[in-house]
């Protein structure tokens, strides 16, 4: 119902009514994106950082800002999104990593690459960090491998992390991770039937 009302207000070209309604209805992403559409970029960034709390919404706002030619503002929103502790941060971090790298923002790209790896470890994410780390690779690699050793990883995440250890010929760590993520195994042979 809220989306329908917002579409009607947008179609009627009533941006102030749209802003009032979206704010009252708690449609924070729609509100921030309308601010972008109105050219109120600073307000959109401020509102997004203050009101959006999930990485997917922050990614959407960052994409909207970039589509409207405001790359620095998009990076500001996306960088804030790296601090949000919620499922979905990996997609935002990957987006920021790739865009920042192509814009020559190496430090930001590296920060995003590390976050992407930590939220969703994989060989490809590991290699992306390596590519951006340049001379700092050995130190960062040590930190990333230690992160995998100490984090409680399960399921598919643990399997992808084990692949990183195998990629780095750290076979003992891969086995330890596999055992740790599998949990305790019963030693009673009759329980395996």
pLDDT in tens, the chain (193 residues): 899 999 999 999 999 999 999 999 999 999 999 999 999 999 999 999 999 999 999 999 999 999 999 999 999 999 999 998 778 899 999 999 999 999 999 999 999 999 999 999 999 999 999 999 999 999 999 999 999 998 877 778 888 999 999 999 999 999 988 887 766 544 555 544 4
Q: What is the pTM of this model?
A: 0.85
CA distance 143 to 117: 12
The set of residues, in sequence order, having a beta carbon less than 8 Å from that of 33 and lying 6+ positions away, is 44, 60, 61, 64
CA distance 33 to 40: 10
CATH match of 1-106 with 1.20.58:
no
- What the block records as the tokens of 167 is 């990629």
Question: pLDDT value at position 193?
Answer: 47
Question: pLDDT value at position 113?
Answer: 98
CB 127 within 8 A of CB 137: no
Question: pLDDT value at position 117?
Answer: 96
Give CA separation, 189 vs 178, 192, 193, in Å.
21, 6, 8
CA distance 170 to 156: 19
Instruction: Quote the radius of gyration of the chain (alpha carbons, Å).
Output: 21
Ramachandran area for residue 4 (φ above 0: left; ψ -120 to 50: alpha; else beta) = alpha
Give CA separation, 130 vs 21, 99, 111, 133, 141, in Å.
46, 17, 12, 5, 8
Domain definitions of the chain by residue range: 1-106, 121-181
Eight-state DSSP code of residue 57:
H
């Amino acid at each position: 119902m809220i989306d329908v009302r917002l579409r009607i207000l947008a179609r009627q070209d009533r941006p102030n009514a749209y802003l009032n309604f979206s704010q009252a209805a708690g449609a924070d992403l729609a509100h921030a994106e309308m601010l972008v559409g109105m050219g109120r970029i600073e307000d959109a960034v401020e509102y997004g950082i203050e009101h959006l709390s999930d990485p997917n919404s922050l990614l959407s706002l960052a994409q909207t800002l970039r589509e409207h030619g405001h790359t620095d503002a998009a990076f500001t929103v996306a960088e804030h999104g790296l601090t949000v502790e919620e499922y979905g941060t990996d997609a935002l971090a990957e987006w920021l990593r790739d865009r920042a790298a192509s814009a020559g923002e190496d430090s930001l790209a590296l920060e995003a690459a590390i976050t992407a790896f930590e939220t969703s470890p994989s060989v490809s994410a590991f290699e992306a960090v390596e590519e951006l780390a340049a001379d700092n690779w050995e130190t960062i690699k040590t930190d990333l491998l230690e992160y995998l050793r100490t984090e409680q990883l399960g399921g598919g995440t643990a399997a992808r992390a084990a692949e990183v250890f195998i990629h780095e010929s750290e076979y003992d760590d891969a086995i330890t991770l596999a055992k740790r993520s599998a949990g305790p195994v019963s030693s009673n042979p009759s329980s395996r039937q």
